[in-house]
Structure 1
Amino acid sequence: MKIAVVAANGRVGRLVVKEAVDKGYEVVAFVRNEDKTLGIQAVEKDIMDLKSEDFKGFDAVISAFGVWEEKNFGQQSTVIEHLADILSNSETRLLIVGGAGSLYTDESLKVQLIDTSEFPKEYLALATASSHSLDLLRKRDDVKWTYLSPAGFFDAEGIRTGEYKLGGEVAIVNSKGESYISYADFAIAMVDELRNKNYIQKRFSVVGEKR
């Protein structure tokens, strides 16, 4: 299986690359600036300059693109729409590293985490932008998209335990009642979905144990 990882030199992207390579996939990194530290074939190109031809022969594209400055939050939707457009009506899957704020509080699927008073105000704008990008994907039936939401505490420094628990649209917690996942265990869940193919045109979520 041939996999493209977009924004491969970010913190999540690097772990997705490593996980996919370790599992035997052929992986090509797509980066804006040259980065030889990834140790794999790389294509140096701005994400908005990518075309359908760039992904010919790929079984899946994993986007680890993310923004952290409020003035750029709108790029979340712009990038996802662009990737969806160039993969439209193809067999190539599009898997997105998503956000947690759009998860629902219960099975009624009426209230998202971002709608609750407990949601951290400092992350509200970012989470709202991420939620909007998911809404855009839900309207597409021409793309084999998959959106993976992490737990509320998405820990860049957390260790790789090799274990995780999957959920769907509703926020779930681990054995200690915590909404937690390390970047490393998130990467495992993402790469495992390449093989499992359980969430095509669906969103799913993941939590792990804090150790």
Structure 2
Amino acid sequence: MNIAVIGATGYVGNAVVKELAARGHQVTAFARNTGKVSEAANVKAVAADVNAADFAGKLAGFDAVVSAFNPGWNNPNIGADFAKGAAAITEAAKTAQVPYLLVVGGAGSLYVAPNLQLIDTPEFPQDIFDGANAARNLLTDLRDRRDVNWAFISPPAAFYEGSPSRPQGKYRSGKDEVLMNGEAPAGIHVDDLAKAIADDVEQKAHLHQRFTVAEV
């Protein structure tokens, strides 16, 4: 398959590029700094600004696109920057008629109880609230859209902490609820998250759906 990865030098994006390349796909890695893109014979690094007027043209012709776009958790304007960039990517995918756009979102919109999302609990870290809320708003916008072939993956609640030190090579899937490991939220190694993303893109398994994954 001919697959594009947006945000190809980020924590998730880099792992996805490596996983897709290892499977033999032709990967186009979009990044602001192409010098940081993982090198492989089947990886093409392309400098791109998702907010540029010509970005839709860059998405034409791919079998699938993975958006791991994130303006940075330490960015003081992450909420506004994420919203702007995500909207630009969505509209570009619509214009380019991308067959499958898999958006890597956040865990904040997962439910911990009926009508209670993780982001609205007292324990949710306030320093990442703006970015997580922007991702939640993106999901809300996408849910009713059928003019874009979207899918949305939420990493588990313990994605950035408490994950296993080594990849397991497997994972389990869920839908809209936080996956648990006993009494605690489950985590996942970034390599296993990349595996789940690659599997989903190959199968186009969650068209117009949100799903989540976690360690087994």
Q: Distance in 1 between matches of 2:65 and 2:151?
A: 10
TM-score normalised to the size of structure 1? 0.89
The answer to which of 143-152 and 70-79 deviates more is 70-79
What is the CA distance between 1:124 and its match in structure 2? 2.5
Deviations 1:58-86 (A, max 9, x none): 01111111121232322222122111112
What is the CA distance between 1:165 and its match in structure 2? 0.7
Identical columns (%): 36
| Residue type of the alignment partner of 1:120 | P
| Structure 2 CA distance for partners of 1:37 and 1:102, relative to 1, 3 Å | closer
| Structure 2 CA distance for partners of 1:120 and 1:29, relative to 1, 3 Å | same
- Unpaired runs of 5+ residues, structure 2, are none
Answering whether residue 64 of structure 2 is matched by residue 60 of structure 1, we say: yes
| Residue type of the alignment partner of 2:138 | S
Matched-pair contact (CA < 8 Å) for 2:5–2:67: yes
TM-score normalised to the size of structure 2? 0.87
Structure 1 partner of 2:202 = 195
Structure 2 partner of 1:208 = 215
Structure 2 partner of 1:169 = 176
Answering whether residue 103 of structure 2 is matched by residue 96 of structure 1, we say: yes
How many residue pairs get matched?
Answer: 207
2:4 is paired with a residue whose SS is strand
Matched-pair contact (CA < 8 Å) for 2:106–2:155: yes
Q: Distance in 1 between matches of 2:129 and 2:58?
A: 34
Q: Distance in 1 between matches of 2:82 and 2:124?
A: 20
Answering whether residue 130 of structure 2 is matched by residue 125 of structure 1, we say: yes
Matched-pair contact (CA < 8 Å) for 1:165–1:174: no
2:112 is paired with a residue whose SS is coil
Which of 175, 182, 194 is the aligned partner of 2:189? 182
Q: How does 1:76-115 map to 2 (within 5 A)?
A: 76-88=82-94, 90-106=97-113, 108=114, 110-115=115-120
Structure 1 partner of 2:146 = 141
What is the CA distance between 1:2 and its match in structure 2? 0.5
Answering whether residue 50 of structure 2 is matched by residue 47 of structure 1, we say: yes
| Residue type of the alignment partner of 2:155 | P
Q: Distance in 1 between matches of 2:69 and 2:47?
A: 15
The answer to which of 8-17 and 171-180 deviates more is 171-180
Structure 2 partner of 1:26 = 26
The answer to which of 56-65 and 30-39 deviates more is 30-39
Deviations 1:116-163 (A, max 9, x none): 223233332332122112112223210111110011111488422111
1:70 is paired with a residue whose SS is coil
1:19 is paired with a residue whose SS is helix
Deviations 1:143-190 (A, max 9, x none): 111110011111488422111110001111236744211211111111
Q: Distance in 1 between matches of 2:193 and 2:78?
A: 24
| Structure 2 CA distance for partners of 1:57 and 1:112, relative to 1, 3 Å | same
